[in-house]
């Protein structure tokens, strides 16, 4: 029973840190694509920009940046602790 508990709830090794690396890369790619989309929207609708759409885009950009930063920070913490 103890082996079963250890295998499901025991500490993970350093290879599990790759999860945070993959997630941070995906969030960074999403951040870049979203930023490009916002710039495209601003250029295309320059004369007819709605503040609400720009504000929503900025909030989403900020949230995407925070998600990227948190996962990058978790990857760094995971790597440094399990070194």
Number of residues that this document lists for the chain? 83
pLDDT at 67 over 90: yes
pLDDT reported for residue 35 = 96
pLDDT at 83 over 80: no
Specify whether the CB–CB gap between 1 and 13 falls below 8 A: no
pLDDT reported for residue 13 = 84
pLDDT reported for residue 37 = 94
Residue 45 φ then ψ, to 5°: -110, 40
pLDDT reported for residue 5 = 85
Supply the DSSP string of 13-76, one letter for each residue.
Answer: -GGGGHHHHHHHHHHHHHHHHHHHHHHHHHHHTGGG--HHHHHHHHHHHHHHHHHHHHHHHHHH
Mean pLDDT confidence for 40-59 = 90
**pTM confidence score:** 0.81
Domain ranges in the chain?
14-81
């Amino acid at each position: 029973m103890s082996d079963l508990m250890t295998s499901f709830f025991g500490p993970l090794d350093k290879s599990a840190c790759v999860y945070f690396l993959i997630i941070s890369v995906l969030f960074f790619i999403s951040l870049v694509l979203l930023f490009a989309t916002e710039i495209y929207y601003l250029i295309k609708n320059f004369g007819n920009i709605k503040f609400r759409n720009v504000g929503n885009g900025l909030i989403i950009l900020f949230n995407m940046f925070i998600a990227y930063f948190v996962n990058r920070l978790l990857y760094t913490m995971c790597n440094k602790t399990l070194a």
